[in-house]
Structure 1
Amino acid sequence: MARTASLSGFPEWLPEERLVEQHVLDSLRRTFELHGFGSIETRAVETVGQLLRKGEIDKEVYGLSRLQDDEGEEAKGKHDPHALALHFDLTVPFARYVVENAGYLAFPFRRYQIQKVWRGERPQEGRAREFTQADIDVVGDGELPFRYDVEIALVIAEALGALPIPEFRLRINNRKLAEGFYRGIGLPDTAGVLRSIDKLEKIGPDKVAELLKSELGATDEQAQAALKLAGIKTEDTSFVAQVRSLGVSNDLLEEGLNELEQVIEAAVKRVPGKVIADLSIARGLDYYTGTVVETVLVGHEQLGSICSGGRYDALASKGNRKFPGVGLSIGVTRLVSRILSQDLAKASRAVPTAVFVALTSDESWGEAQDVATELRSRGIAAEVAAKAEKFGKQIKFADRRGIPFVWFTDEDGKHQVKDIRSGVQVDADPATWTPSDEDIHVQVVAAPAS
């Protein structure tokens, strides 16, 4: 069970909890790099103008200022576009990074980025004010083939599938499909309709229908048509026929249908059971232009999306030069918080150390260091006792630390190692002795399915 942080919204993990988080991060890095994504890191600070140029979430942005300004320097207001603020996601900083470094990058540019972000939300499980995200994106110069939308979804399904988490589902829609449909039924304010549909799971269809009518001037028939579209969910490409049965004709709708069909068709073949066409998914940020994705843990839907993103065609530009992209972001802290609070996975021990080298006397410290050095040279984590206490006390210390093995060397130079979990003690040579694969490194083990 994860501890409650003393400062709400800013989680800090115990060592054994941090090992679980590191396992998640290492697994994600490994999958991303296997698919050819290179790592970058952007600065934590952006200008307010840069952060807020797409989508209005200024209430969630943390401004950055010194406690005391230089003498004679006027403090910058929170709406000054040149004021500094902490980034609230990694997509907007990445778009800026691409524009500034376009002359040095090879396109399509594939990157992954794992960093802290900050967002001024009301803290609760799954929502922190400081948290880690893991993003992958592919960005093109001028154009980006749609096939990358398909690839990104498959990479994320593989990455999540390697983590110690319950079953998950990528819920995928396409903004072109939705916007084309709304225009086809006579609702031109497609952004407004999307914002209302995005509230469907929180407030229900009746209240969404009222919003569509009161705020966007929709008729009963238009509101019901929009809700019928949002109600379509399939695990295969049968959603295409269901949308067409609604009798709406629009070129943008057809384009979106075709794109979503390609994503779902590929997913059914390569990651069966992991992806759903869900036409209620809207995504709140305005910069998405095509594929949109939200991901939930089965049985933990109340946690919200653990991975989201999509296609953005106009977020990054330099003069007439545009850099369209597609990417997805995994909420690492949200995932780890749920893993810990629900005991979904645990580290096999609390520390990396596999062997605690005991002292027979204070004078033997140098020889004990030689043993530890020999073990470390072969990748076995070891630490040495600080003083020569009774062996029983040294064993208890190792046990409290969660170290599985204690190494003893007698005055004649004979070595033995004891597994303090089983009590078995055997002769050993520091140049050759090796623990089992399960003990040489910390293992993060998923809890058995109930």
Structure 2
Amino acid sequence: MSKPTPLSGFPEFLPEQRIIEQQVVATLARTFELHGFANIETRAVEPLDQLLRKGETSKEVYVLRRLQARDDEHSDTSKDKGLGLHFDLTVPFARYVLENAGKLDFPFRRYQIQPVWRGERPQEGRYRQFTQADIDIVGRDSLSPHHDAEIARVMLDALGRLAQPDLLGLPGFRLQVNNRKLIQGFYAGLGAPDVDEVMRLVDKLDKLAPEEVHRLLVAEAGLTGDQADACLALAGIHATDDSFVDRVRALGVSHDLLEEGLEELAGLIRACAPLNSERVRIVADLSIARGLDYYTGTVFETRLDGYESLGSICSGGRYDALASDGRNTYPGVGISLGVSRVLVPLLQRGALVADRKVPSVVLVAVTDEESRPAAEAIATALRARDIACETHPDAAKFGKQIRHAERRGIPYVWFCQQDGSGEVKDIRSGNQVPADPDTWQPPSQDLHPRITTEGKQHQ
């Protein structure tokens, strides 16, 4: 068999890279649970009519079908027609809420960390299979706006933990927030003939120059030059406090929906301000709108400092009518972190490395095959005390066994003595001391692989 060619857009990790991903996922899960969010997992497939009804285009959905399935109506697989892999975790979650509403307590708080599939052109930060971490709070018929601020606070906490030097050590995250009521009310108060089209075009400011967006607003949205100027003036407002309210009102536009959006956004910014730090901060950014059509209020986007080319790595918002069974409506607010979107470019650039390739803290050396049972007994005793270890695969010379540990990043080698005693060697320092497998304990920083940023010079 010839060497296989990697599939573009389906990233895979080496063991030492997977260690980093596992630590990130564990940190996110622990943070979400500290805030009282319950974990769920939904199936990988959904009916196509569900996947396509919330603003996504059909070209991004992978269809699921048996290789031998027939297209005619007499096929015994016809019941499986119309299935696709989910492209995000929000649409499956909406279906999950409807199916289990009678068993859930509302407001229902959930987190999910799962792969999703999206058929778009692969590029840095964008993949065909990738892992997302989502949190949502869903109510029945109503959901207080203070939950919007709660979602932001939870993600700020999670991002702050990821940015710490002992984990990813990243320069920082900027959580940008806006409110669609605010911008829709502003455009309506301005007299825009097509509010949705204006919102769609202004949302292109992260890709197009303001002059080009101005031209499109006049040519495609039917605005006058002065109206287009006002839209760009609104989009240019950014603030880390509620000072943006006065700046918006100074533009001279009034509308009830605008006032409602200003009030909600100002409340969110004030609620989150205490969490601003050197590594994470929340910013009112009145240029963002989000492309999906189910957002009805708060919208989030997040940039990673120094990696702005990745675009938004964490986004979401408020949706007041994503799920409904005809009797009850289930409004919610959520945010999704693109775990792969952050990690894959950093790993590919060598910006993050793990200090070992395996979980093992100790390699138990094997003197000869006759003594292997004794070595395995020592390993068993260490594992009983939650110390990860392995025995050497063969009875090679000790120098070779030490080099085996060095290549894998295992910090300690355990030697069994002829009299039944043991000694453990820290191969980094060369220090070797007597040890008992029932009592010996490595330093806490050695118990698990650690993430370092030694590779940052390769950026």
State TM-score, norm by structure 2.
0.93
Are the counterparts in 2 of residues 48 and 81 from structure 1 also a CA contact under 8 Å?
A: no
Are the counterparts in 2 of residues 352 and 441 from structure 1 also a CA contact under 8 Å?
A: yes
Are the counterparts in 2 of residues 181 and 253 from structure 1 also a CA contact under 8 Å?
A: yes
Distance 1:268 1:40 in 2: 30
Shifted more, 221-230 versus 324-333: the winner is 221-230
Are the counterparts in 2 of residues 168 and 296 from structure 1 also a CA contact under 8 Å?
A: yes
Q: Percent identity?
A: 59
Distance 1:235 1:74, change over 3 A: farther
Distance 1:365 1:51, change over 3 A: same
SS in 1 for 2:318: strand
SS in 2 for 1:316: strand
Specify which of 319, 337, 348 is matched with residue 330 of structure 1: 337
Distance 1:156 1:432 in 2: 40
Distance 2:109 2:161 in 1: 21
Residue aligning to 1:208: 213
How far the C-alpha of 1:66 sits from its partner, in A, is 1.3
How far the C-alpha of 1:65 sits from its partner, in A, is 1.1
Distance 1:138 1:71, change over 3 A: closer
Shifted more, 250-259 versus 389-398: the winner is 389-398
Query: Do structure 1's residue 356 and structure 2's residue 363 form an aligned pair?
Result: yes
Residue aligning to 2:126: 127
How far the C-alpha of 1:187 sits from its partner, in A, is 1.2
Residue aligning to 1:186: 191
SS in 2 for 1:314: strand
Query: Do structure 1's residue 174 and structure 2's residue 213 form an aligned pair?
Result: no
Residue aligning to 1:314: 321
Distance 1:82 1:356 in 2: 52
Residue aligning to 2:424: 417
Query: Do structure 1's residue 387 and structure 2's residue 394 form an aligned pair?
Result: yes
* 1:79-94 map, 5 Å: 83-94=82-93
Shifted more, 235-244 versus 216-225: the winner is 216-225
Distance 1:320 1:192, change over 3 A: farther
Distance 1:192 1:447, change over 3 A: farther
Are the counterparts in 2 of residues 231 and 279 from structure 1 also a CA contact under 8 Å?
A: yes
Residue aligning to 2:258: 253
Are the counterparts in 2 of residues 232 and 280 from structure 1 also a CA contact under 8 Å?
A: yes
SS in 2 for 1:274: strand
Are the counterparts in 1 of residues 379 and 390 from structure 2 also a CA contact under 8 Å?
A: yes
Specify which of 427, 435, 445 is matched with residue 434 of structure 2: 427
Listed one character per residue, the Cα deviations across residues 349-371 of structure 1 (whole Å, up to 9, x for unaligned) are: 11100111111110111111110
Are the counterparts in 2 of residues 5 and 11 from structure 1 also a CA contact under 8 Å?
A: no
Q: What amino acid maps onto 1:156 in structure 2? A: M
Residue aligning to 2:165: none
Listed one character per residue, the Cα deviations across residues 322-354 of structure 1 (whole Å, up to 9, x for unaligned) are: 000000000000111133234443212111001
* 1:126-165 map, 5 Å: 126-163=125-162, 164=168, 165=170
How far the C-alpha of 1:447 sits from its partner, in A, is 5.6
Distance 1:320 1:81 in 2: 29
SS in 1 for 2:410: coil
Unaligned runs of 5+ in 2: 163-167
How far the C-alpha of 1:423 sits from its partner, in A, is 1.7
How far the C-alpha of 1:207 sits from its partner, in A, is 1.3
Are the counterparts in 1 of residues 193 and 221 from structure 2 also a CA contact under 8 Å?
A: no
Q: What amino acid maps onto 1:362 in structure 2? A: E
Residue aligning to 1:345: 352
Distance 1:96 1:81 in 2: 18
How far the C-alpha of 1:35 sits from its partner, in A, is 0.2
* 1:1-12 map, 5 Å: 6-12=6-12
Residue aligning to 1:368: 375
Distance 1:189 1:141 in 2: 32
Query: Do structure 1's residue 244 and structure 2's residue 249 form an aligned pair?
Result: yes
Distance 1:56 1:361, change over 3 A: closer
Are the counterparts in 2 of residues 49 and 81 from structure 1 also a CA contact under 8 Å?
A: no
Listed one character per residue, the Cα deviations across residues 249-286 of structure 1 (whole Å, up to 9, x for unaligned) are: 10000000000000111121333560110000110000
SS in 1 for 2:53: coil
Specify which of 448, 452, 456 is matched with residue 441 of structure 1: 448
- Point out 4+ residue stretches in structure 1 off by more than 6 angstroms: none
Q: How many residues align?
A: 444
Distance 1:344 1:161, change over 3 A: farther
Are the counterparts in 1 of residues 65 and 80 from structure 2 also a CA contact under 8 Å?
A: no
State TM-score, norm by structure 1.
0.95
SS in 2 for 1:237: coil
Distance 2:80 2:423 in 1: 67
Query: Do structure 1's residue 102 and structure 2's residue 101 form an aligned pair?
Result: yes
Distance 1:66 1:340 in 2: 35
Shifted more, 337-346 versus 436-445: the winner is 337-346
Listed one character per residue, the Cα deviations across residues 8-35 of structure 1 (whole Å, up to 9, x for unaligned) are: 1000000110011111100000000000
Q: What amino acid maps onto 1:31 in structure 2? A: T
How far the C-alpha of 1:140 sits from its partner, in A, is 0.1
Unaligned runs of 5+ in 1: none
Are the counterparts in 2 of residues 154 and 271 from structure 1 also a CA contact under 8 Å?
A: no
Shifted more, 288-297 versus 203-212: the winner is 203-212
Distance 1:441 1:328 in 2: 30
Distance 1:407 1:61 in 2: 52
Distance 1:143 1:346 in 2: 45
How far the C-alpha of 1:441 sits from its partner, in A, is 1.2
Distance 1:5 1:227 in 2: 47
Distance 1:42 1:253, change over 3 A: same
Are the counterparts in 1 of residues 363 and 391 from structure 2 also a CA contact under 8 Å?
A: yes
Residue aligning to 2:204: 199
SS in 2 for 1:101: helix
SS in 2 for 1:97: helix
